[in-house]
Structure 1
Amino acid sequence: MTQSDEAIDAMLGAALAPPARPGDRAFLVRVERRIDAEAALARAERRFWKSFAFEALAIGALLAALWLLSSSDLLAPLAGPAHWGLAPPLLLVLALWFAGTQRLRRL
């Protein structure tokens, strides 16, 4: 670099430098609160989806158990000819419970 290049760099540095002023503390506090709120929301969403997955697997296991029980000879009179006579009302109860708990947890 030549001496004129250094002078131009110094002049541009002085012209483009941000003005000297005190920091905006209120803005910094708002940004930090926003970051904390977003982190808390992300943690809550992770908890929600973990709970959702666990309860969905539990309901799937219960439905599989209902299907196996309804196809057994012991419960055949209750199951009816299609082997699903007992399952639809229980499935409705499980679905309503699942939807209700997830909706309340989401609020």
Structure 2
Amino acid sequence: MTASNQTDIDAMLTAMLAPPTRPGDRAFTLQVERANDAQAAYARARARFWRSFAFEALAVGALLAALWLLSSAPLLAPLAGSTHWGLAPPLLLILLLWFGVQRWRSA
């Protein structure tokens, strides 16, 4: 008698705990898929930005180091004079602005 009673209880619990039968929400599924695609595209664009930014920062650093080395070389010191290093900041500012404009145009 307990076996029959246990079977009835199991059947009743199965019926009560079963998820409701209804059709899937296709619009919600599409919205989630679009959100996942947008997040993946954003992650790719962000990685591309940081790679490009690192390369441009290395290029600017190399130019700064080259200007500093050229201005401090004893062989070139008589040719450079004091105005050589004085022209470096405006030239670097123009270079950085150019990089910024390139970055803005590609976005």
Interval of TM-score (by shorter of Structure 1 and Structure 2): 0.7 to 0.9
1 or 2, which has the higher helix percentage?
2
Greater Rg, structure 1 or structure 2?
2
Which 5+ residue runs of structure 2 have no aligned equivalent? Answer: none
- Residues 63, 48 of structure 1: alpha-carbon distance in 2 compared, 3 angstrom cutoff: same
Which 5+ residue runs of structure 1 have no aligned equivalent? Answer: none
TM-score w.r.t. the length of structure 2 is 0.77
The residue aligned with 1:56 is 57
The residue aligned with 2:12 is 11
Where in structure 1 do 4 or more consecutive aligned residues deviate above 6 Å? none
The residue aligned with 1:33 is 34
1:8 CA drift (Å): 4.1
How many residues end up aligned between the 2 structures? 104
TM-score w.r.t. the length of structure 1 is 0.77
What is the Cα-based RMSD across aligned positions, in Å? 2.5
The whole-number CA distance in structure 2 between the counterparts of 1:53 and 1:11 is: 64
Give the % identical residues: 63
